[in-house]
Amino acid sequence: MSPYRMIVLAFSGCLLFLLSNSSRAQNPGGGAVAVSAEDRKFLMDAAQSGYHEVKMGMLGAERGTNTALKAYAQRILDDHALSNAEVEALARLKGVALPDPKTDTSVVKLSQLSGIEFDQEFVREAVENHLRDLAEFEKEDQSTAADSDIRGFAHSALPKLREHLDQARALKL
């Protein structure tokens, strides 16, 4: 395992520990804390988007023809796999049942392309997905009604989402 992955895993573990202790302080009984419908939807959407990004990352790392795109795809895969683990742990903590990962039409369409067409569609999809995710995470981060743990997760994910968007935009094909 690379040192980068070890550091990210350790950070994720610390974050989950802090989230669980924060929630116990708010709910000493330790049971699931009721969350609003908006927070529940955010967690469900964040999970589905994360699953999508992992599938995209796997496709890009496997099928990309551009070296920079392949490196970006691997980073997306690694980062979103870790983020998915955080979303899943937070959802468990809050008693939110997440949907099973589903294959969407954009992944199917992308998997049917090859060469430069694949690379270009991958980048277009990556930019579009990260713009959408940024809007949702910023909305959750700025929500005054949001659960503080969920809002904290959204806040902590924003720099990475912005970085992914900037990297996707910078890919020259």
* Amino acid identity for residue 129 in this structure: N
- Each as own residue / partner, the long-range contacts of residues 138-147 (CB below 8 Å, 24 or more positions apart, any chain) are 140/39, 140/42, 143/38, 145/36, 145/38, 146/36, 146/38, 146/39, 146/42, 147/33, 147/35, 147/36, 147/39, 147/94
| pLDDT tens sequence for the chain (173 residues) | 554 444 444 455 544 444 444 444 444 445 556 899 999 999 999 999 999 999 999 999 999 999 999 999 999 999 999 999 999 999 999 999 998 888 788 899 999 999 999 999 999 999 999 999 999 999 999 988 779 999 999 999 999 999 999 999 999 87
- Residue-level pLDDT at 61: 97
Nearest-angstrom CA–CA distance, 83 and 68: 22
**How many other C-beta atoms lie within 10 A of the C-beta of residue 172?**
7
- Residue-level pLDDT at 31: 53
- Residue-level pLDDT at 1: 54
Which string of b and e fits 148-165 if b means at least 16 CB within 10 Å?
A: ebbbbbbeebeebbeebb
**How many other C-beta atoms lie within 10 A of the C-beta of residue 21?**
10
Pair 78, 11: CB distance under 8 Å: no
Of 93, 90, 123, nearest to 30 (Cα)? 93
For the chain, domains (ranges, CATH) are: 3-170 (1.20.1260.10)
CA angle 97, 99, 105 (to 5 degrees): 165
- Residue-level pLDDT at 18: 47
Q: How many helices (H) and strands (E) does the chain have?
A: 6, 0
- Residue-level pLDDT at 33: 61
- Residue-level pLDDT at 32: 56
Return all residues near 130 (Cβ < 8 A) that are at least 6 apart: 161, 164, 165, 168
93 half-sphere exposure, CB direction, 13 A CA radius? 27
Q: For the full predicted model, state whether its pTM sits above 0.85.
A: no
Return all residues near 44 (Cβ < 8 A) that are at least 6 apart: 96, 98, 99
